[in-house]
């Protein structure tokens, strides 16, 4: 008699929330991650990023710093108040040392400046997903 389960389920892909108010950049990051088998939730504002974080419970969060309404730093600080371990990558055009220090002080795991390599971002995301 066959004792195998009647319905095999594929593993659920890791979920990543990506927030950026630049549509082209958001689409590029979403495409790169999806092609690598990542379940991506893309949003275009800080408020949407918080909502997606609460609803999706992602394994990694990628935030633009400068977004309408809540900034990526605002979102990061709010998340860090209750979730200090979640890998959060800030992806930003703000490249000065003071900006980088502000992001690190707010609790980001990685600080990547634009322009950036999509392959490098994918590699960093995958390393956090593998560790989860």
**What pTM, to 2 d.p., does this model score?**
0.89
Listed residue (42, 28, 107, 112) closest to 75, CA to CA: 107
pLDDT band, residue 132 (cuts 50/70/90): confident
Domains assigned to the chain: 15-131 (3.40.50.2300)
Percentage of the chain beyond pLDDT 70 is: 90
Calpha distance 86→121 (Å, rounded): 16
pLDDT at 4: 44
Calpha distance 125→87 (Å, rounded): 9
């Amino acid at each position: 008699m066959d004792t195998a389960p009647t319905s095999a389920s594929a593993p659920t892909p890791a979920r990543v929330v990506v927030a950026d108010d630049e549509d082209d950049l958001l689409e590029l990051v979403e495409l790169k991650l999806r092609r690598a088998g990542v379940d991506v939730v893309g949003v275009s504002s800080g408020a949407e990023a918080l909502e997606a974080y609460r609803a999706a419970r992602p394994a990694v969060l990628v935030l633009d710093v400068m977004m309408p309404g809540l900034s990526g730093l605002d979102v990061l600080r709010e998340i860090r108040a209750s979730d200090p371990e979640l890998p959060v990558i800030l992806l930003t055009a703000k490249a000065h040392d003071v900006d980088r220090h502000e992001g690190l002080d707010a609790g980001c795991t990685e600080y990547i400046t634009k322009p950036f390599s999509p392959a490098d971002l994918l590699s960093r995301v995958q390393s956090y997903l593998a560790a989860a």
